[in-house]
Structure 1
Amino acid sequence: MSLKKSIRFLIVKSVGQYINLLSLVNPKKALHISYSLFTNPRIGKIQEDNLPEILQDTIKETFHHNEDHFQTYTWKGNDTKILLVHGWESNSARWEKTLPYLQKSGSTIIAIDAPAHGQSSGKEFNVPRYAEFINKAVKKHNPSIIIGHSIGGATCIYHQYLHPETSIEKMVILGAPSDLRTLIDNYIQMLSLNRKMFSLLEKRYLENFNFELENFSGATFAEQINIEGIIAHDTTDNIVAFEEGQKIANGWKKGHFITTTDLGHSMHDDDLYQEIYRFLFKK
């Protein structure tokens, strides 16, 4: 293990130990810290006066939703519309390597910044709020295709489960997690948190979003999806386990599972993008 990784490991474990000790004397504060660490992205924000080059020459629109606002960027094309949904600690610029393949089709492409990411508002990211953002953008633009990466892909599945009767006809999911419980289990294991903290986090999700962790499952949601799609996952993904993609694919009747190797979590690859292009645009 490198020195940098060793230092990071010690810091992470020290934070976990602090939260565990705090849970004994002030469980409310321990929950606040652990929930914030899990839901508040550290990176991914961008400023209007310092946009990545790929986002500069776009049509920009700010949507307002309840107390939030979120940003979209549009590359104008024909009447076929594609909505791009990025993942954790990222923003709409992550699609720079994907865009050339999609633009070959002549389609209009819209990318959305997630809650607490890019130019969208807030400090907390959560899937239900992201799904609300997506739904508002879908109602405005009526895309026939939606593409999501990582937790953005999981949100696309949740959105399609909630709103099956939209304009969306095809969906592509890249490196997406299936089960929220698995993500929280991994988080607790990483910090070496005690089981009391798991119970507190589980209770927080039930109070905030009115669902049990085990019920929030992409595999379960996918069973209700009737549109065609691709689920692609890499065997060497060290961020979201390959088995998570398999779970989604097993539930999705019209989903085609693509296995890749040595792409990691980002999944940028010429052959993969060409296969996605054929699925989306070749009859």
Structure 2
Amino acid sequence: MDLRAALIRSTLDGTARVAPRLAGRMAGALFARPVARASQRPEEEPVMRRATRTELVLDGRRAVVHQWGDGVRPVLLMHGWQFRASRWSPLVTALTERGYSPVAFDAPGHGESPGRSTTIVEYRAIARRLHREHGRFAAVVGHSVGGLAAYYAVRGGVEADRLVAISAPSGMDTIAEGFRLGLGVGPWLRPALRRRVEEMFPDEPGLWDGFNATHRPEQLALPMLIVHDEEDDMIPAGESRRVAAVYGDRADLLITRGLGHRRVLADPRVVEAVLDFAAATDPVA
């Protein structure tokens, strides 16, 4: 038995019975904090060594940014939870060979960036800053939680010609339920976590619903490529099917098999599909 997990579970459930708002604040702090920081893999090192590395600061929080290419046709890459920018190495290599200029960042608490926590709101703030620096993106590509953040960022003012979401959840309810099941706590956590997240950002009413990939679909008129593996053990492929159904002809759905949640990023077929999609110029009907 994991004694730490058991202690967290008993503490949260016990607190929820007598002080639900306090339990919500405690759960919110855990929710925003990655359990582990992924290390760079040896095969990623040559790609990362070629990057121009800079750092941006937003409200005192720092994020490391990695850039390749000459700045022409920038593509924004948004990594997933407990992932890092270096996981994009296969796609970065392919994009630069096609004349694109990938831009990737390590969110706070991930990769090379300091800190211990982050939120999708922070992902969007970083994306907005990079949009101001690089201009309109040829594509915004996100993986996992980074895919959900990509929908949120493009709807929130980050301009792009195309959007790619890989292994992404459809919304925060899915993430919250996975978090709850991982902790093994009661159903009280879902509404408590929603309340806490909305309390953290009082200037953004309806924030929880706004995180959904399918929120206000009329606001996302750009073409989308939605990729998911049938055997994803973290986020069910049904999440992407649900999103694709909402966007109809605006979304191409690619379902793979045998890649899971992680290996999908480096699969040559997926990389080629993203390249072909980014390069397509057909207008939306």
- Structure 2: gaps spanning 5 or more residues: none
* Corresponding letter in the other structure for 1:275: A
More deviation in 56-65 or 145-154?
56-65
Aligned to 1:264: 260
What secondary structure sits across from 1:195 in the alignment? Answer: coil
Mapped pair 1:174 → 2:163: no
Displacement after TM superposition at 1:204 (Å): 0.6
User: Following superposition of structure 1 onto structure 2, how do residues 86-235 of structure 1 map, counting pairs within 5 Å?
Assistant: 86-142=79-135, 143-163=137-157, 166=159, 168-209=160-201, 210-211=205-206, 213-235=208-230
SS at match of 2:260: coil
C-alpha distance after superposition, 1:71-102 (max 9, x if no partner): 21111246221111111011111112222222
d(CA) in 2 for partners of 1:76 and 1:138? 16
> Which of 62, 82, 87 is the matching residue for 1:69?
62
The TM-score normalised by the length of structure 1 is 0.86
RMSD: 2.4
Per-residue deviation at 1:258? 0.8
Moved more, 75-84 or 87-96: 75-84
User: What is the number of residues matched between the two proteins?
Assistant: 271
What is aligned with 1:4?
none
C-alpha distance 177-26 of structure 1, shift in aligned 2 (>3 A): same
Q: Do the aligned partners of 1:45 and 1:116 also contact (CA within 8 Å) in 2?
A: no
CA distance in 2, matches of 1:208, 1:36: 11
How big is the shift at 1:146?
1.4
The CA distance in 1 between the partners of 2:131 and 2:277, in whole Å, is 21
SS at match of 2:215: helix
Once the two structures are TM-superposed, the CA of residue 144 in structure 1 deviates from its matched residue by: 1.7
TM-score for both structures, normalised by structure 2: 0.85
1:34 matched to 2:27: yes
Amino acid at match of 1:277: L
Q: Relative to structure 1, is the Cα distance of residues 225 and 215 closer, same or farther in structure 2, using a 3 angstrom cutoff?
A: closer
SS for the counterpart of 1:69 is: strand
Q: Percent of pairs identical after alignment?
A: 22
The aligned amino acid for 2:165 is I
Matched, 1:274 2:268: no
Aligned residue identity for 2:253: F
Unaligned 5+ runs, structure 1: 1-6
Provide the rounded CA distance (Å) in 2 between the counterparts of 1:212 and 1:113. 23
Asked if 1 retains the 8 angstrom alpha-carbon contact of 2:106 and 2:112, the reply is yes
Matches of 1:46 and 1:263, distance apart in 2: 20
Select 1:252's aligned residue among 247, 253, 256.
Answer: 247
